[in-house]
Structure 1
Amino acid sequence: MKKHKVVYKLSVFGNRKGSKIVAKREIPFEIKLAAKLILDDLCFSWNKTHLETKINESIDKMDKEGFMILSKQYQPYTWE
């Protein structure tokens, strides 16, 4: 089993008189990276579906100007 390095950060809370020092364990890099990738994917897919619904609404309303603005915002999502 792979050994993990444990890093503690010391933080001072309160004022200088009688302040406490609390040790906080740092989150491993792999967990931070996985969480960031999952959040990025969730944001990407939500933004894409939100724009798709707005584009469909503008098509239903026959709003050409709104459609052109939204389609330019949607172009980066078509690189898949």
Structure 2
Amino acid sequence: MKKEKLIYRYYRYDGKTLHAKREIPFELKLSSQMILDELCFNWNKQQLEAAINSSIDKRNKEEFLKLSKEYRHFIWE
């Protein structure tokens, strides 16, 4: 039996080109999310500490009690 000969010809595709999206690795996503969470946590804590210090300087007891109650979420040792 005679073998068939296959010949392939390549033609340039004239349609719209597709660009594949590159998947970001899970470890990179997780570490970047953790860094952002830590930055937000520290910024919020510093803002709250500044507000507490301001209320102490103004001798505003009600504001100090309210802010110190919110501050308890930041210190859970």
TM-score normalised according to structure 2 size:
0.73
Which AA in structure 2 matches 1:39?
Answer: L
Q: Which residue of 1 aligns with 2:48?
A: 51
Higher deviation after alignment, 42-51 or 21-30: 21-30
Which residue number in structure 2 is paired with residue 62 of structure 1?
59
Residue by residue, what CA displacement relative to the aligned partner does 1:4-58 show, whole Å, maximum 9, x if unpaired?
A: xxxxxxxxxxxxxx97643110100000000001001111111111100000000
What fraction of aligned residue pairs are identical, expressed as a percent? 59
Long gaps (5+) in structure 2: 1-14
Superposed, 1:34-49 pairs within 5 Å as 34-49=31-46
Give the TM-score normalised by the residue count of structure 1. 0.71
Task: Count how many residue pairs are aligned between Structure 1 and Structure 2.
Answer: 63
2:24 matched to 1:27?
A: yes
Change in 2 beyond 3 A, CA 1:26/1:60: same
- Structure of greater Rg: 2
Q: CA RMSD in A?
A: 1.6
Matched residue type, 2:43:
W
Indicate the structure with greater strand content.
Answer: 1
Q: Whose relative contact order is higher, 1 or 2, with alpha carbons under 8 Å and at least 6 apart? A: 2
Distance 2:56 2:70 in 1: 15
